[in-house]
């Protein structure tokens, strides 16, 4: 049984976080396993931020979950305006807290030891977790975080970072900016091995008569513990609804 829009009813699949993409959740037996670290990769404009924010928004609105959205690329005002244009009014989901990069930058500047980015982020996340709890965390994007402070030893620091994320017991979304022709889902390559789920948002050019149009696709590349299709499905966005097209 599903609720409106194909989203599993509250009593069902509470061990899953729906993607809130109509048609996709049914193919994933309800969605993403709770507690996963989810890498969401794609080129600019592929709807990474919107896809991730939507999950936090609906989880807060429909299941009273608390979410922390760390927006490192876009200011809070710009993100909120974009999400409002997609039909997501912040007042409808008070459990979502959007923090932009300024607060984190302050935190990082105070840290003297290495690795500063990691320690700064850890402090920030621990503080938010204590103040308001967080069932869901979104970090948008990994690349912007990496640009904040230099790495001494990237592989070790990223490994430690994932360990610390797991200790927070949240479901975490890590946004990764991918060039269109990239074969790696994240900058250092290790992130894709450490993540439990990888969702790939793709853009593909298709010729339509005399002109060329860009279509969006969504694919689940990896999802630990779930049997899933490896197909990419066309992703349609209409009036704030996300839907896949499948045969």
Ligand X SMILES: Nc1ncnc2c1ncn2[C@@H]1O[C@H](COP(=O)(O)OP(=O)(O)O)[C@@H](O)[C@H]1O
Residue 65 is encoded by which pair of tokens?
């979950």
CB atoms within 10 A of CB 189: 13
CA 168 from centroid of its chain's CA atoms:
16
Using the rule CB under 6 A, is 49 a contact of ligand X?
A: yes
- Contact of residue 133 among ligand X, Mg ion, none (CB under 5-8 Å per partner type): none
Interface mask (CB under 6 A) for ligand X, residues 18-47, using x and -?
------------------------x-xxxx
Nearest CA to 117 among 172, 76, 158? 158
Out of 85, 92, 153, 169, the residue judged to bind ligand X by CB under 6 A? 85
Q: For the purposes of burial, counting CB atoms within 10 Å of the CB of 190, is it exposed (0-12), middle (13-18) or buried (19 or more)?
A: middle
> Which of these segments, 1-9, 27-35, 79-87, 163-171, binds ligand X (CB under 6 A)?
79-87
Helix (H, G, I), strand (E, B) or coil at 145: helix
Among 147, 190, 221, 237, binds ligand X (CB under 6 A): 237
Q: How far is the CB of 160 from ligand X (least distance, A)?
A: 26
Answer for which of 48, 54, 58, 187 binds ligand X (CB under 6 A) is 48
Closest approach, Cβ 56 to ligand X, in A, equals 13
58 belongs to the binding site for ligand X (CB under 6 A):
no
Residue 33 C-beta: closest distance to ligand X, Å? 23
Residue 179 tokens read as: 């060039």
Phi and psi at residue 86, in whole multiples of 5°? Answer: -95, 15
Least distance between ligand X and beta carbon 177 (Å): 8
Interface with Mg ion (CB under 5 A), residue total 1
Q: Within positions 45 to 104, which residues make up the interface with Mg ion, using CB under 5 A?
A: 49
Please name the residue that has the structure tokens 């699949």: 13
Contact 134, 167 (CB under 8 A): no
> Is 124 strand, coil or helix?
helix
The stretch among 42-50, 61-69, 98-106, 221-229 that binds Mg ion (CB under 5 A) is 42-50
Contact residues for 72 (Cβ-Cβ < 8 A; gap 6+): 100, 101, 104, 139, 140, 141, 144, 145, 148
Q: Kindly state the smallest distance separating residue 73's Cβ from Mg ion, in Å.
A: 6
Residues near ligand X (CB under 6 A) are: 42, 44-50, 82, 85-86, 237
């Amino acid at each position: 049984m599903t609720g409106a829009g194909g989203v599993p009813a509250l009593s069902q699949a509470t061990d899953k976080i729906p993607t809130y993409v109509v048609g996709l959740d049914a193919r994933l037996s309800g969605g993403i396993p709770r507690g996963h670290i989810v890498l969401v990769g794609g080129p600019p404009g592929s709807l990474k931020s919107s896809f991730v924010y939507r999950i936090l928004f609906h989880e807060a609105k429909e299941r009273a979950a608390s979410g922390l959205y760390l927006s490192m690329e876009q200011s809070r005002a710009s993100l909120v305006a974009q999400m409002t244009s997609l039909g997501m009014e912040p007042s409808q989901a008070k459990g979502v807290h959007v923090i932009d990069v300024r607060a984190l930058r302050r935190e990082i500047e105070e840290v003297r030891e290495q690795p500063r980015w990691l320690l700064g982020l850890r402090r920030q996340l621990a503080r938010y977790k204590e103040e308001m709890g967080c069932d869901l965390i979104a970090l948008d994007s990994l690349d912007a975080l990496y640009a904040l402070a230099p790495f001494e030893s990237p592989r070790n620091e990223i490994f430690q970072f994932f360990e610390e994320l797991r200790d927070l017991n949240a479901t975490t979304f890590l946004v990764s900016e991918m060039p269109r022709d990239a074969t790696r889902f994240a900058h250092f390559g290790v992130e894709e091995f450490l993540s439990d789920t990888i969702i790939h948002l793709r853009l593909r050019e298709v010729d339509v008569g005399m002109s060329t149009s860009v279509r969006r696709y969504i694919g689940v590349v990896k999802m630990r513990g779930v049997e899933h299709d490896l197909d990419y499905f066309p992703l349609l966005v209409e009036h704030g609804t996300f839907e896949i097209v499948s045969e």
